[in-house]
Amino acid sequence: MEGWQVLVLNQTYEPLHFCNLRRAVIMLLKGKAQEVEYDGRVIYSPSISIQAPTVIRLNRYIKKPYLVGVRFSKKNVFKRDNYTCQYCGSYGVEMTIDHVVPRSRGGITSWENVVVACQRCNLKKGDRTLYESGLTLLRKPKKPYFLLHFKNLPQADGSVRANWNKYLFRD
């Protein structure tokens, strides 16, 4: 489990950062954190066996001023939506920013009204509302309270990522 990374949550379940497995286990053993998610893998040492956590939560709230208020920018919208079209789920290539309520209909440019969209979906949606276009959103857009550099998420199996995603992308 070399390179195994664990997502560390604040006491309030806000994601804070990643740490390595060794550090996570030490925090668990010292009672500084509790296991929130694990992947079924077990670590054995001469004295103990412990379920390898994928997500842990601190027992004490830590204040992180940088978590407050992510600046609105096109770049940060791409990060929030993980470069993924919020209509069809396609990823990566030549994404655009779409206004959920079109500007021509009075929609404003805000965290709650813009999403990443692929060119196809953007074109399909055009100047229509969500309802008129028949498209649905993968999740409701909102101001992020925290912004990981999603491109730099640690490498992990799909099941581990699924564990993380519950906390990284919760509503």
Residues that bind Zn ion (CB under 5 A): 85, 87-88, 90, 118, 121
> Least distance (Å) from Zn ion to the CB of residue 118?
3
Compare residues 132 and 157 and give the one whose CB is closer to Zn ion: 132
Compare residues 21 and 121 and give the one whose CB is closer to Zn ion: 121
Rounded Cα distance, 42 and 44, in Å = 6
> Least distance (Å) from Zn ion to the CB of residue 117?
6
Question: What's the residue count for the chain?
Answer: 171
Q: Report the C-alpha dihedral over residues 50, 13, 15, 62, rounded to 10 degrees.
A: -100
Compare residues 20 and 90 and give the one whose CB is closer to Zn ion: 90
Closest-CA residue to 73 (of 46, 108, 111)? 111
Question: What one-character DSSP code corresponds to residue 91?
Answer: B
**R_g of the chain, CA atoms, integer Å:** 19
Compare residues 52 and 85 and give the one whose CB is closer to Zn ion: 85
> Least distance (Å) from Zn ion to the CB of residue 97?
13
> Least distance (Å) from Zn ion to the CB of residue 46?
52
Q: Give 3-state DSSP helix, strand, coil % of the chain, rounded to 5.
A: 25, 25, 45
Rounded Cα distance, 126 and 136, in Å = 14
Compare residues 38 and 169 and give the one whose CB is closer to Zn ion: 169
Token representation of residue 128:
């229509």
> Least distance (Å) from Zn ion to the CB of residue 90?
5
